[in-house]
Every structure is written in C-alpha cells, then in structure tokens.
Amino acid sequence: MDTRTLGSTGPTVSAIGLGCMGMSDLYGPTDRSESIRTIHAALDAGVTLIDTGDFYGMGHNEMLIGEALKGRNRDAVQLSVKFGALRDPHGRFIGFDCRPAAVKSFVSYTLQRLGVDHIDIYRPSRLDPNVPIEDTIGAIAELVQAGYVRHIGLSEVGSDTIRRAAKVHPIVDLQIEYALITRGIEDDILPTCRELGIGITAYGVLSRGLIGGHLSKPPAANDYRSHSPRFQGANLDANLALVEKLRTIADGLGISVAQLAIAWVLAQGDDIVPVIGARTVPRLQEALAALDVDLTPQHLAALTTAIPRNAAAGSRYAEAQMAFLDSEK
C-alpha cells in the first residue's frame, strides 16, 4: 500500500482511506456482514485510515467499526472521527454543538463505542455558528494533552476558519469534498492548507456515486441522494452525460470510470488522500486498483477538457445543507 503523510505534523496513512458512513446510514439498506467483510478486506489490503462520524447511524457506525477491529492491531489503524452534528430520533439533522463541554462528552461516547483508548484524528463535522472555532479546537487540544486524541482535523471550513484554528493547535488535515466535478477548494482553501502545512482528506471523490460509472437511474426514495440537486431531473441527465465522457477516456486506458475519477484526485498532490465510501468488497477492490493507474499530463489535460470546472449541474448539497458549509462562504 502506498502511503501519504497528513500535513507537516500528522501521521503517515494509506494513500486511500475507507469512509464508512454508507455502512450505517443514508444510502438505503445496509448489510452488517458485508460491511465487516469490507472493513477487514481494506485492512488486509493495507488501508490504515478509517473514517467515521459519531452521528452516522446515531452511533451505529462506530459500534460497527469497533466490532470489525476486534482482534486487530490497534496501532496499525488510524481512526478519523467527526463530531458535532445533532440528530433527532427520526434521524433528521437538527443542528450542531461544538461547545467545549459537548466536545468532551462526544469523545467519551465515541471511545466507548469504538472500544479504543484514543482517537487518531478528531474533528468537528461543521463549524458551529454559535461557538468560536478557537473554543472548539482548544477543547480538542486538551484531549490531546490528556492522551484521548492524537491529532486535530477540520471539516468543510473556509480559509479564515482554518487560519484561526491553526493558531490554537496544529491542524493535520481538512476533510472536504473534492472531485473532478467538485473543485471549489482549488481557488482558496487548497492553497491555504498548503501554505499552513495541512493535508486534505478528500471525500466525495466519486460524488456520492454520481461519477462512479455504476449509476443508471435516480436513487430510491430512502436514499438521501434523492434530495440532492445533482441527482434530480435534468441535472441528473446532464451529469450522467459527463460520466459518459469519462467512460470514453477510461475505456481508452483499460480502467473503470471510478478508477479514473479516483486516480485524478490522487494525481492532484501527495498531500491529498481520497476517502472512498465503499460498502462492498468488490467496490473496495475496484477503488484500490486506482493506485495502479498512472495518469500522464496528457491524460490530465484530456480530463480537464472533458470535464471543465463547474461542469456539474446542481449544487453538491440541498440549499438547507449548503447554508451550514463554512467552506462555501
């Protein structure tokens, strides 16, 4: 497994991470046994970075990962955990809480559910508009001093917030959406992170399956993507037309569309680690094969021509969710 280092002060991790959200939440029915097999297959293949959130399935995802890690070498795995999102008994998101007291409460429950004594990278899932980022990062810094957390990360925040956070404690990475059809971070956020020595853990590299090459119809009603603008009506038709452009290039390379999209993200810099939301072993194996794809400058230029910036139809989240993204302000 190739490795990359998260920022100038962070850990060395596998060049591709495994995001586990879909194993518990939001994408329709899940299969516990297949989820555990997928996590085990990832670990056996050398994947060391496992990403979750305490609100994925209201704790279910952490318990699933904890079960999958039993009997495994804890020191061979880096657990990345997001916190702060609040949900009601129906699963609806009802806000964020990143107060210092809440941070320390959240991590306590996470440690218990995962069955571990420390979290490798701990990060607020979004900026809490009611809590200065300095207070939130300061609380995590206290957890670092106490040994419960090893490193601090951020998620979906803009350059001003990144700079303010970095003044409180070293930040190892920013988790943010980055893909061929989602390139907004290139304007300001990515340069800021590189200036400060902060890595990028990129999620949504397949745009929630939109550019994975396997989607042929709108998501089911119980799939949260059915509420996403990019997956609706004419937007979906336009975006799937972009996928066919990718397929032409992928076919010429003898690889899948998903492998091409992941390889593109890998090629954007050694400070970027794609986090792949594979829910099954075959999808995981397909994603990991992207590590063997060597895109030349000519390939990258062809991709830029086929999929110019801002080519995607529709925003990456629904309007209500976009309002919570400090990274979009």
Calculate mean pLDDT across residues 52-78: 95
pTM: 0.92
CATH number, position 117: 3.20.20.100
Where in the sequence is the domain holding 107, given as residue range(s)? 3-209+265-293
Given this model, what pLDDT does residue 129 score? 94
Calculate mean pLDDT across residues 161-183: 97
Residue 79: inside a domain: yes
Spatial separation of the C-alpha atoms in residues 326 and 21, rounded to whole Å: 21
Given this model, what pLDDT does residue 147 score? 98
> 12: which strand partners?
5
Residue 314: inside a domain: no
Flag whether pLDDT at 27 surpasses 80.
Answer: no
Residue 231: inside a domain: no
Residue 284: inside a domain: yes
pLDDT digits (tens, 9 = 90+) for 241-260: 999 999 999 999 999 999 99
Active site members = 56
Spatial separation of the C-alpha atoms in residues 234 and 218, rounded to whole Å: 11
Flag whether pLDDT at 223 surpasses 90.
Answer: no
Residue 165: inside a domain: yes
Spatial separation of the C-alpha atoms in residues 227 and 275, rounded to whole Å: 23
Q: Is 201 helix (H, G, I), strand (E, B) or coil?
A: strand
The domain total for the chain is 1
Residue 172: inside a domain: yes
For residue 312, what are the CA distances in angstroms to 80, 107, 178, 234, 303?
Answer: 29, 37, 13, 11, 14
Residue 259: inside a domain: no
Residue 249: inside a domain: no
pLDDT digits (tens, 9 = 90+) for 68-110: 999 999 999 999 999 999 999 988 889 999 999 999 999 999 9
Spatial separation of the C-alpha atoms in residues 5 and 273, rounded to whole Å: 9
